[in-house]
């Protein structure tokens, strides 16, 4: 309780700087009020035309969580095979991967196979008719459609961190949209945008996250010119 109060006392910058993916959970239940507070602030996210097409399914039922794990494990294994991750995990330190990268891979692999141990899963769905897709005509994949749902998702991740809850955002379940539609009664016209596991973090919070410095991605006047 004291820890949760301390988390709620964190400033915005501090929360933004350290809201890592949490992939191991203690199994303690997630208080409904904490989820309610997080959803209640996340809803102030922007969306094209303020259409607010997000819908969230809160999943705590153990049987449904096991089914979600089964749906997640397959694309995870495919991803590992495709990227050489499985070989690296099997080789361990001999893989030559930097220690941090190997540790992340191990954590993500353990997470995939214990997916159902997160006490709550939030499925972020979106009303496809509410998306303002201004780049639909460009000869490349659309980026803008997601911009009406992912600010909400990020708000939610930060709000969960503010509540002292661990969370991890994933998109590997999205290709299983048809199975999810059936499992969770998602109507036609709504897409699955992503998923968030939520629970009490089992490991200590990291002191800082690893991200590139501002000067590496910010330019002045022309792309690539230092600012």
Ligand X SMILES: Cc1cc2nc3c(=O)[nH]c(=O)nc-3n(C[C@H](O)[C@H](O)[C@H](O)COP(=O)(O)O)c2cc1C
Which residues of the shown chain bind ligand X in the complex (CB under 6 A)? Answer: 20-21, 108, 111, 168-172, 209-210
Identity of the residue, 13 or 225, whose beta carbon is nearer to ligand X in the bound complex:
13
Compute the residue count for the chain. 227
DSSP state for residue 72 in the 8-state scheme: H
- Smallest distance, Å, CB 108 to ligand X? 4
Identity of the residue, 131 or 188, whose beta carbon is nearer to ligand X in the bound complex:
131
Residue 39 tokens read as 């959803």
Identity of the residue, 108 or 123, whose beta carbon is nearer to ligand X in the bound complex:
108
> Taking Cα atoms as reference points, which of 111, 134, 154 lies closest to residue 48?
134
- Smallest distance, Å, CB 162 to ligand X? 16
Identity of the residue, 52 or 168, whose beta carbon is nearer to ligand X in the bound complex:
168
| Coil, strand or helix at 171 | coil
| Coil, strand or helix at 152 | helix
- Smallest distance, Å, CB 220 to ligand X? 27
Cα–Cα distance for residue pair 196/215, rounded to 1 Å:
31
- Smallest distance, Å, CB 222 to ligand X? 28
- Smallest distance, Å, CB 1 to ligand X? 25
For the residues of 31-71, what is the DSSP string, one character each?
PHHHHHHHHHHHTT---GGG---EEEEEE--HHHHHHHHHH
Identity of the residue, 155 or 170, whose beta carbon is nearer to ligand X in the bound complex:
170
């Amino acid at each position: 309780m004291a820890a949760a109060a301390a988390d709620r006392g964190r400033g915005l910058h501090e929360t933004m700087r350290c809201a890592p993916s949490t992939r191991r959970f203690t199994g303690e239940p997630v208080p409904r009020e904490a989820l309610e507070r997080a959803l209640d602030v996340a809803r102030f996210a922007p969306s094209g035309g303020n259409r607010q097409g997000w819908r969230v399914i809160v999943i705590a039922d153990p049987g449904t969580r096991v089914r979600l794990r089964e749906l997640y494990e397959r694309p995870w294994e495919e991803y590992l095979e495709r990227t050489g991750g499985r070989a690296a995990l099997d080789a361990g330190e001999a893989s030559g991967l930097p220690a941090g990268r190997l540790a992340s891979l191990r954590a993500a692999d353990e997470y995939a196979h214990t997916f159902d141990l997160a006490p709550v899963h939030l499925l972020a769905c979106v009303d496809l008719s509410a998306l303002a897709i201004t780049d639909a005509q460009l000869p490349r994949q659309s980026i803008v459609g997601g911009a009406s749902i992912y600010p909400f998702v990020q708000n939610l991740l930060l709000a969960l961190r503010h509540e002292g809850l661990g969370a991890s955002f994933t998109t590997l379940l999205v290709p299983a949209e048809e199975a999810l539609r059936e499992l969770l009664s998602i109507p036609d016209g709504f897409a699955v945008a992503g998923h968030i596991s939520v629970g009490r973090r089992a490991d200590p919070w990291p002191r800082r996250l690893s991200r590139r410095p501002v000067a590496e991605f910010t330019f002045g006047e022309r792309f690539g010119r230092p600012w």
